[in-house]
Amino acid sequence: MAKLTKEELEQVLQELEIHKGRHTELITVYISTDYDVNSVQKQLEAEKSTAKNIKSTTTRNDVTDALDKIVRHLKALKRTPENGLALFCGNISKVEGQIDLQLWDIEPPSPLKTRLYRCDKEFVLEPLKVMLEVSEVFGLLVMDRKEAAIGMLEGKRIEVLQKMTSGVPSKVRAGGQSAARFSRITEGLTKKFYKRIAEEMKKIFFEMPKLKGILVGGPIPTKDEFLDGEYMTNKLQEKVIGRIDIGGSDESGLKELVEKSRDILSDQEIVYEKKLLERFFEFLGEKPDMAVYREKDVRKALEYGAVEVLILSKQVEKKLSKELRQLAENIGSTVEIVSTDTTEGEQFNNLSGIGAILRFKI
């Protein structure tokens, strides 16, 4: 089973969306990346006993047949695929009384975090639809002097990764301490807290290949003290794409941070796309032997293993796009799909919609 690209997943979802059951006979199974496929197989075996209680003979048979088909499929798998597994099975015949039992097995393009078994009139597609929006991962940090929460934004999903507290005392001084001494203590504890936050950020995000940017939120002085104090490594500091004024420093603060950063986030994909195409056009103009754009030349470069980055417009015919992507993946090339929402994207599509930046001259 091959891992689907986002474009391939989109096509499969469009197909699955069409199918509707007459009764609750279409089965959806999601197996998350960290869950044992054998355990799911046993659970579904148990579901067959439950299915015997379905009153309608036709529905009971359809559900039992679909469960049998899924269980047989799972028995052939030795382990859960790297990104998890989504299975859809059911009688999709449009004619009542006829049987057209079909099974779809999908390894999605990014890790599946959902575990689910459902029998319904339609397939449950939402967890996979969300993945179509996930082209980038953003680091999130909300903080004040008392606490901090570190999270990650994938598509529309916000995941809390770490919660921290500082131990910095409140403004009421204990034991008649002088204002100056109390201030020194709190400042020292605050700086230690900032260092701990920076260490956690480094642990989580430093080696994350899909990280496109970091958003930092908090009260005006706190987040600025942290960022301007250069507690984070230069690599992560350069990834900070927004500092947002918010009040919360917990899970609700992460949601507020994302909500207030919508404009920044929507710009990021466009900026990335523009930079990629600017690089391609720059190669074409200044190093023409290191970039190609005609289909026959791109194919030749792929055959030679010379493609570093294959660029395809979303407007390219789907069958051709899939074929070229497969060739590129076989030689370890990066594949980038670009829209026509920018001037550069439109220009690229008008050129041919197919291009490659090369690893070496051919």
| CATH number for the domain whose boundaries are 270-358 | 3.30.1330.30
Residue 170 clears pLDDT 70, i.e. is over it: no
Least confident span in 28-32, 52-56, 218-222, 266-270: 266-270
| CATH number for the domain whose boundaries are 6-133 | 3.30.960.10
Taking the alpha carbons of 283, 323, 352, 314 in that order, is the dihedral positive or negative?
Answer: negative
| CATH number for the domain whose boundaries are 137-260 | 3.30.420.60
Residues of the chain with CATH 3.30.1330.30: 270-358
Residues 204-251 pLDDT 10s? 999 888 888 999 999 988 999 999 998 999 999 999 999 999 988 888
Tokens of 12: 């499969």
Least confident span in 42-56, 125-139, 186-200: 125-139
What one-letter code names the amino acid at 183?
S
Give residues with Cβ within 8 angstroms of 217, minimum separation 6. Answer: 140, 141, 142, 143, 223, 243, 244, 245, 246, 248, 253, 256, 257, 260
What one-letter code names the amino acid at 282?
E
Least confident span in 105-109, 128-132, 190-194, 228-232: 128-132
Residues of the chain with CATH 3.30.960.10: 6-133
What's the pTM value of the predicted model, to 2 decimals?
Answer: 0.50
Residue 179 clears pLDDT 80, i.e. is over it: no
